[in-house]
Amino acid sequence: MGILQVPGLPSPGPVAAAAPQDDKLAAARKKYEDAKLALEQGDLARVPAKSPPGVEGSFAAVAAARKALPAAPKTTKDYDAGSKALATLAKRVAAYLAAEAAALARLKKKYDADKLALDDELLQVPLGAPKGIEAAYNAVTAARGAIPADPATIDEYLAAIKGWPALKRSVDAYLKAAARKKRIDDGVGAYGSSGTKVGELKDADKLNDEQKRILDAKLTEKLGTPGVQMSEKELKQFAQRVVEKTNKLAETPLEKKIPGVNEKLAKSETLKTNIVKLQAAKWKIKVNKKGGGSYCDKTNKTIAIDPDDPIEEVLGGLAHETGHALYVLPPAPTIKASASGVDYVRKSTEINFLDEGEAQMVACRATKDLGANGVAANVPADSAGKFMAIYVRYTVGDLGEDAARKEMAKEFGNLITSTTKESYLVYYGSAHIANWNAAHKKDPSKQLAKTILATMTLFP
């Protein structure tokens, strides 16, 4: 059928054929864009934005090949050049992926070897932290958490491999701590104060609670020393030596001049415990000169007992002095912060009297212990029974410990010391007056006279 001719309109003429060069351009563009899209959605997508360690050269080659792609191709020649550049890029990508795979294989091999080497030790770490070695256990947990669980990339493998040494160190430290704990638990469990074999130790039945604590502490210290390995025989011998030394801590040198004192003092749990604590802390307990009185020297860690005193007074006096030795004094006032000299002297002296109050609390407690076990003892300076009466009020709950100590402290106001034979108020107060005056020696108006003590009221 021919071309329909519309009346009145000119003929459209023949249809123009597409130019051959346009077909070539379209084909070149399609070839380039299809190849580019396939590469971008394929292997090129597997190349990370930043080079992992160990494959920098291959990664740089990919980056260079990328830069060689035409920025905005327009002509057939541009697209043909772009296709060649894409082919080069594809080769560089393939080379990179091969290098990456090889690097991953090497890293995986090392990772697996490191993991295998540590697996047996890791299996010895329990799921929960054993009591006493929580810190070592937590260190293992932290080191584990720093290692990627299932590494897949070079960076993850490197991070995991880098973390193995820290994990190994923490596991080694944990296993040492666990082994130390086992040594201690086994040793103390056998020959400690509640051990299954403590009855095999001579005179272990003489140990009181404080001595038992020392036995357990010494065993723990010995067995916890790094590298220590003890046979059953060696452990028993060590425990026996500790028992012997600990029992000696309850014996004082007073026995030579005051026979029977050690046997009697052992009848008071309070007094025996204090003697053990003090001699373990290297305090010296000695006999004073006859008639020299008894005292406690905290500075030189010395207790001296008057051998002229009857045994009943020796026991009470010894308990009193141990009370001094173990009492932690309240904070002392400072001269600078005191409102006045009298205020400084009064508050300082009150602390000394509280120290005396505590010493009497201990003496009353020990005297009660001894009496319950058939041993007579006297609380120092308590012929009228005032101190024991206060102590009884404390034991039945009428007074708290601090209140009872203060009530006893007040009783010292008119008592006389056994050493200087002056009142306690003058004995302590004079020393504080001297301190105050020495600090104000350039200001006569601030000097204090000892006469202030005559009208001073403690604990107003």
Instruction: List, for residues 217-256, the tens digit of each pLDDT value.
Output: 999 999 999 988 999 999 999 999 999 999 999 999 999 9
Which pLDDT belongs to residue 1? Answer: 42
At residue 7, does pLDDT exceed 60?
no
Which pLDDT belongs to residue 13? Answer: 53
Mean pLDDT of 360-378: 98
Q: Percentage of the chain surpassing pLDDT 90? A: 92
Predicted model pTM: 0.77
At residue 293, does pLDDT exceed 50?
yes
Least confident of 90-104, 195-209, 352-366: 90-104
Q: Are 290 and 296 in contact (CB under 8 A)?
A: no
Which pLDDT belongs to residue 454? Answer: 92
At residue 299, does pLDDT exceed 80?
yes
At residue 4, does pLDDT exceed 90?
no
At residue 18, does pLDDT exceed 60?
no
Least confident of 8-12, 39-43, 48-52, 209-213: 8-12
| Mean of per-residue pLDDT scores for the chain | 93
